[in-house]
Amino acid sequence: MTPRIIIGISGASGFQYGVKALELLRPLAIEVHLVVSKGAEKTCELETDYRLDEVMALADVVHPINHLGASISSGSFKTLGMLVAPCSMRIIGRYRPLSHR
């Protein structure tokens, strides 16, 4: 099975960090799954020169933010991990309860 990783781009300033991660992963033999928050879409539009469709093209699979039936929503979806970039303290706080399991 091809290794997989999930990249989540949040709406915090620093959209370019998520893009850089996608660019660095592109040449590797890793299947990249991308999720972009609504805030990130707005940040991309207002604060960067990137076009969202070009950013999404860097991933192998793009999942809509509200799609609860997405493969990455399943606990059986095996990955190397997930990178959320940029990641504000507010976003980190949302993941804290998961660390106790």
pLDDT digits (tens, 9 = 90+) for 64-90: 999 989 999 888 999 999 999 988 777
With contact defined as beta carbons under 8 Å apart, do 11 and 94 qualify? no
Radius of gyration from C-alpha coordinates of the chain? 13
Q: What is the pLDDT of residue 96?
A: 54
Q: Name the most confidently modeled range: 42-46, 57-61, 68-72, 91-95.
A: 57-61
**Strand pairing report for 4-9 and 31-36:** parallel
Decide if pLDDT at 63 tops 50.
yes
Question: What are the helix (H) ranges across the chain?
Answer: 15-25, 38-47, 52-56, 89-95
Q: What is the DSSP-derived secondary structure letter of residue 74?
A: S
Instruction: Write down the domain spans for the chain.
Output: 4-83
The CATH number of domain 4-83 is 3.40.50.1950: yes
Please give the C-alpha separations between residue 6 and each of 33, 45, 49, 69, in angstroms, as whole numbers: 5, 22, 23, 16
